[in-house]
Amino acid sequence: MKARLKKLYDWVDERVQLEDLVEFMGKKYVPVHSHSVWYYFGGVSLFLFIIQVVTGILLLMYYKGSESLAFESIQFLMSKVAFGWLIRSIHSWAANLFILAAMIHMFSVYFTKAYRKPREITWLTGMLMFFLALGFGFSGYLLPWNELAFFATKVGTDIVGVVPLIGKPLMILLRGGEEVTGATLSRFFGLHVAIMPGIFTVFLTIHLLLVQRQGMSEPLGVEANAGEEMRTMPFFPNFLLRDLLLWLIVLNLLAMLAVFFPWELGRKADPFAPAPAGIKPEWYFMFMFQTLKYIPAQVLFIDGEVLGIMLFGIAGLLWMLVPFWDRRSSRGERNRVINYIGIFAVIYIIVFTILGWAS
């Protein structure tokens, strides 16, 4: 058995020079320090993304992206297809955990200032992937074509429509018309399963290649107070096996969530029915939604909603471009302002999310 495997390895190695890759992997080390735990969240996000791809492809076998069949096909999937409930629940739960893991990953990178030179591109691609993930969440939410999703999409795209100049055409482009209809469903379906995964894959490839090429970043503070050489651990197999161990646990967690809290389907959307009470966006949009509620209707000749959206837009843009304006971190100096901004963002998001759920 072993001899055969060796033979196969040699056969491949002869053709594509596996030896180089193995050597590269063998030389890769991961720094070990008190903040090393954050390194795992990138891997967890990757794992959850893989789960999404696999379960998403499986769902495509039965899902029908049309107004008259979308809800029914999910109902069919949940009741008639063996383990259909499991696949759908895992897809829904993993989607939420993915965004959560990506958020933690993003904030840990931010606070450890791992975005600083030379990793600006890694940060940028990561941020773009995060925005895409929010887009995945928003578009995927509509696909079951149930009541809550229908109205959440209506409200969500309405907000897009408020943006000056480009808002209205963008909203019509998103909706495939003036209103949320079957055309919107088709568009969201296309976005969710073809366009966004395509773009995402490009960013993901760049992101992962850069991580492998540049290695893990060492936090500024940790580097400074360790007089001796940094303690490290080989990426292969030590770190990779730990990654796998964590992935197994996450998989088990997903299975438990799917069994104990199966994702509900609700009632089929009826465009002519009155909006049901308590429409709330997904939790990761909640803080923005809640903020828009608090802004007065008119602030100095500007429409309150427009102002809110503009502010979030600018904040997002600044956040994405942090490696370019945070020069001090890139020079290896301490920059407390960055920490204060980060802490403010975390507290803001947590408080407004709680307020949104409580209201």
Partner 1 sequence: MKAMLLAFVGLISHGSLAAASAQVENQCLTCHETLGDKPSELFKHDIHFKKGISCAGCHGGDSTSDDMEVAMNPKAGFIGVPKGDDISRMCAKCHSSAAIMVKQYNSILPRNQIETLWESVHGKLSTTGKERIAQCTTCHDAHGIVSTKDPASPVYPLNVTKTCAKCHSDAAFMRAYNPALPVDQLDKYRTSVHGIRNKEGDVKVAECASCHGSHDIRAASDVKSKVYATNLPVTCASCHANRAYMKGYRLPIDQFGKFSKSVHGKALLEKHDLGAPSCNDCHGNHGAVPPGVESISKVCGICHALNADLFSSSPHKKAFDRRKLPECETCHGYHETVAATDELLGVSPDAVCSRCHSPSKNPKGYLVARTMRQLIDSLEAAESRAAVLVNEAEQKGMEISEARFKLRDVRQARLESRTMVHSFDEEKFRAVIEKGLGVTSAVSAEASDAIHEYYFRRWGLGVATLIITVLAVSVFLLIRRIERRQQQKK
Partner 2 sequence: MRDSGKIYTQPTLSPPRRRDFLKYFLGGSLIAWLASVLYPVLAYLKPPKQPEVEISSVKAGKLSEIEKESGRIIKFGTKPVILIRTAVGDLRAFSATCTHLDCTVQFRKDAGIIWCACHNGQYDLNGRNIGGPPPRPLDEYRVIVQADEVLISKKG
Residues found near partner 2 in the complex (CB under 8 A)? 32-34, 36-37, 58, 61, 64, 68-69, 72-73, 75-76, 80-84, 86-87, 233, 238, 248
Q: Is 319 near partner 1 (CB under 8 A)?
A: no
Q: Is 183 near partner 1 (CB under 8 A)?
A: no
Q: Is 6 left (phi over 0), alpha (psi -120 to 50) or beta?
A: alpha
Q: Is 259 near partner 1 (CB under 8 A)?
A: yes
Residue placing its CB nearer to partner 1 in the complex, 168 or 242? 242
Residue placing its CB nearer to partner 2 in the complex, 82 or 300? 82
- Distance of alpha carbon 55 from alpha carbon 94, whole angstroms: 10
Q: Is 242 near partner 1 (CB under 8 A)?
A: yes
- Given partner 1, partner 2, none, residue 259, with its beta carbon under 5 to 8 Å by kind, binds partner 1
Q: Is 241 near partner 1 (CB under 8 A)?
A: yes
* DSSP string for residues in 336-353: HHHHHHHHHHHHHHHHHH
Q: Is 276 near partner 1 (CB under 8 A)?
A: no
The token pair that represents 302 in the structure block: 């500007």
- Given partner 2, partner 1, none, residue 225, with its beta carbon under 5 to 8 Å by kind, binds none
- Distance of alpha carbon 102 from alpha carbon 306, whole angstroms: 28
CB-neighbour burial class of residue 96 (10 A; exposed 0-12, middle 13-18, buried 19+): middle
Q: What 3-state DSSP class applies to 232?
A: strand
7-11 CB contacts, 8 Å cutoff, 24+ apart? none
Q: Is 79 near partner 1 (CB under 8 A)?
A: yes
Closest CB 233 distance from partner 1, rounded Å: 8
- Given partner 2, partner 1, none, residue 29, with its beta carbon under 5 to 8 Å by kind, binds none
Q: Is 22 near partner 1 (CB under 8 A)?
A: no
- Given partner 1, partner 2, none, residue 244, with its beta carbon under 5 to 8 Å by kind, binds partner 1
- Stretch (H or E) spanning 309: helix 304-320
- Distance of alpha carbon 94 from alpha carbon 139, whole angstroms: 15
Task: Give me the 26-65 binding string for partner 1, x by CB under 8 A, dash otherwise.
Answer: ----------------------------------------
Residue placing its CB nearer to partner 1 in the complex, 201 or 252? 252
Closest CB 209 distance from partner 1, rounded Å: 26
Residue placing its CB nearer to partner 1 in the complex, 246 or 321? 246
**Sign of the C-alpha dihedral computed for residues 41, 130, 134 and 75 taken in this order:** negative
Torsion angle of C-alpha atoms 338, 97, 202, 134, degrees rounded to 10: -70
Residue placing its CB nearer to partner 2 in the complex, 180 or 338? 180
Restricting to residues 216-235, name those near partner 1 by CB under 8 A: 234
> Could you tell me whether strands 232-234 and 29-31 are parallel, antiparallel, or unpaired per DSSP bridges?
antiparallel
- Given partner 1, partner 2, none, residue 20, with its beta carbon under 5 to 8 Å by kind, binds none
Q: Is 25 near partner 1 (CB under 8 A)?
A: no
Q: Is 177 left (phi over 0), alpha (psi -120 to 50) or beta?
A: left
Task: Name residue, tokens 């969710």.
Answer: 192
CB-neighbour burial class of residue 342 (10 A; exposed 0-12, middle 13-18, buried 19+): middle
- Given partner 2, partner 1, none, residue 256, with its beta carbon under 5 to 8 Å by kind, binds partner 1
- Given partner 1, partner 2, none, residue 32, with its beta carbon under 5 to 8 Å by kind, binds partner 2
**Using an 8 Å Cβ cutoff, are 232 and 31 in contact?**
yes
Expressed in angstroms, the distance from the first to the final Cα of the chain is 63
Interacting residues with partner 1 (CB under 8 A)? 75, 78-79, 85-86, 234, 237-238, 241-242, 244-245, 248-249, 251-252, 255-256, 259, 262, 264-265
